[in-house]
Chains A and B, each alone.
Chain A
Amino acid sequence: MTKKTESRIVFWVFLVPVLFAFLMVMVIPFFLGSYYAFTNWSSSARVDGGLRFVGLQNFAESLRDPSFLYSFGITFVYTVLNMIAINVVAFALAMLVTGNLRFRNLYRAGFFVPNLIGGLILGYIWQFIFNNAVPSLGQAIPALGFLADPANLMLSKNTTALVAMVIVGTWQYAGYIMMIYVAAIENIPQELIEASKIDGATPWIRLKAITLPLCAQAFTVTMFLTLVNSFKQFDVNVSLTSGGPSTMLMGQPVLGTELLALNIYNTAFISNKLSVAQARALVFFLVLAIISLIQVYVNKKKEIEL
């Protein structure tokens, strides 16, 4: 056996296991799914018989469905609020824990821990906090009495329930993003800071002229991560609000906090419209791809400017 055939054999033998798994769960389902989105695919119309090409019908149906349009809007709102809240909190935490603090490592670990627990479990914990702990606080402290009123439960109104999801999202994710900022801040050359101190720069100017510009690369990463993760949020949505409470859009009841990922899931398994759900997933993918491309492009441009 020559060296060349040997390396060719090794190449394929090494690659085949992973390639097989990848084809089975990613490539084949991706192409099947892209096709199914344009058919009448359902649990009864399987691949073998009855599968019909229906063109853009599933997309048209989705665009007429208030619940989908509502989910789209609310997902954008949630994503923007979540990105802002997470990054502001994470950056502030990073500034604090890179300072000269006594229990610095304990703080870092503490802020980071929620990220290790799955979103599903976090959502249940916070459901308990919003529905039980917060009203109990209202009962205990007369000045906060309004919290005890069942009408004021955060999860009982769709706007405050969305804010509740942002709070949970921030608690879950800020510590992780903080670690990325910490790495960036600790990479700033100490001489730069020293020099600016000698020149009499105030902490505010140091933040604006040194820290923020030198963290520009980290911002590209953190913005991307928070954008994608917020847009795809599912676990917290399921366990915290299950999409509720209901509200009205275009004269029809819709779920008030049903983000896109949950809407797609419910379309398939509650409304039993598999092909429509698949069309929505395709739209979801394209929109996510476009906005994350725009985000990376904008951040990269900022990186150069700063």
Chain B
Amino acid sequence: MKQLQPRKPGSILAEIVTALLFLLFMFPFLLVLINSAKSSFEVTQYPLAWPENWGNIATNIVKIWTSESVRYPSSLLTSAIVTIVSLILINLLSAQAAWALVRTKTRISSAIFFMFVASMVIPFQIVMFPLLSWFRTVTQVTGIRLLRTYQGIILAYIGFGAPLSIFLFHGFIKSIPLELEEAATIDGCHRHQIFYQIIFPILKPIQATVLVLNGIWIWNDYLLPLLVLGKGNTIMTIPLAVSNFAGAFVKQWDLILTAILMAMVPIIIFFLFAQKYIVKGMVAGAIK
């Protein structure tokens, strides 16, 4: 923390401008909140007014909670399962792959690493259609269902999340001194033990970055679940549920905004607890 200097007129002006901008940035959220506490008549007539009765918010929340097209409890659970399982697997599998790539210096390992890095420029649009037909073909041949299932979407997130994660781990592992591993080898550690017991715990700071970057992407992602899970599926993530509902009831803004509020709450609570890691992780991920 820098030393606070005595306030000058310039800094008071900056203070006011920033505060106004802050209010402007927060205003859309405020609108969501106040309009979630209105009846549908109130929303369309007085969208900017303070709600007459805050008790309405509970009524609206119950409506969304029990709504057939949002299926909030089940969507929340699906989003949580998809995000958490994908994150655990991306984190562990990318870390061990990156370690294997750094510590094995062969032509094959550099070629594989190059392939991962090169793939980061490929936009999702170019693989999304063939991905669907390829998943269908795999199911026809092996009988393993990939479309509209958890295993399919988690497999997709591992594949799409791996390149950046491996790239981040790769850069970090390169800076870990080899002596550490050599000492462990002399002490009789096996290769895999070296990774799980020595290297993986050292990776904590970069794991935080990997988890934050992938977590925010997966939680909010719309296009991949739309394609892989599909519409009208029993498994539905939060963004799919919101679009399902907002698309069907174009005018029911009181309920749409309540659904939006309920979709935002988990991530905002998460942000309040892990703010430092999230900001650090997202900035570090961008700069590397």
Chain A residues near B (Cβ < 8 Å): 6-8, 10-11, 13-15, 17-19, 21-30, 32-34, 36, 46-47, 93, 96-97, 99-103, 106-121, 124-126, 128-129, 132-133, 136-137, 140, 171, 175-176, 179-180, 183, 218, 221, 225, 232, 234-235, 238-239, 261, 264-265, 268, 274, 277-278, 281-282, 284-285, 288-289, 292
Kindly supply a per-residue 1/0 record for chain B positions 41-53, scoring 1 wherever the CB is within 8 Å of any chain A CB and 0 otherwise: 0011011100000
Tell me the dominant secondary structure on chain B's binding face: helix
Among A99, A180, A281, find the residue whose CB has the most chain B CB atoms closer than 10 A.
A281
**B236-263 contact mask (Cβ, 8 Å, vs A): 1 or 0:** 0001001100100000010011001001
For the complex of A and B, the 4 pairs showing the least CB-CB separation, nearest first, are: A118-B220, A25-B159, A21-B159, A21-B158
A120 in contact with B243 (CB, 8 Å): yes
Point out residues on B near A: beta carbons under 8 Å. Answer: 2, 4-5, 7, 11, 14-15, 17-19, 21-22, 25-26, 28-29, 31-32, 35, 43-44, 46-48, 89, 93-94, 96-97, 99-101, 103-104, 109, 112, 115-116, 119, 121-131, 133-134, 137-138, 155-156, 158-160, 162-163, 166, 190-192, 195, 216, 219-223, 239, 242-243, 246, 253, 256-257, 260, 263-264, 267-268, 271, 275, 278-279, 282-283, 286-287
- Which of B109, B126, B137 sits near A30, CB closer than 8 Å? B126
Q: Report chain A residues within 8 Å CB of B104.
A: 7-8, 11
Are B267 and A111 neighbours in the complex by a CB distance under 8 Å? no
- 18 residue pairs from A and B, CB less than 8 Å apart: A13-B192, A17-B89, A18-B97, A22-B119, A26-B163, A29-B130, A47-B133, A96-B21, A99-B11, A107-B22, A109-B271, A125-B260, A128-B253, A136-B48, A239-B243, A278-B129, A281-B128, A285-B125
Cα–Cα distance between A234 and B223 once the two chains are bound (Å): 8
Which residues of B sit under 8 angstroms from A110, Cβ to Cβ?
Answer: 22, 25-26
Q: With A21-B162, A96-B17 given, is the CB distance from A125 to B287 under 8 Å? A: no
Contact B15–A133 (Cβ < 8 Å): no
Residues of A within 8 A of B123 (CB): 232, 281, 284-285, 288
Report whether B131 and A11 are in contact in the complex, using a CB–CB cutoff of 8 Å.
no
B278 nearest in chain A by CB position: A116
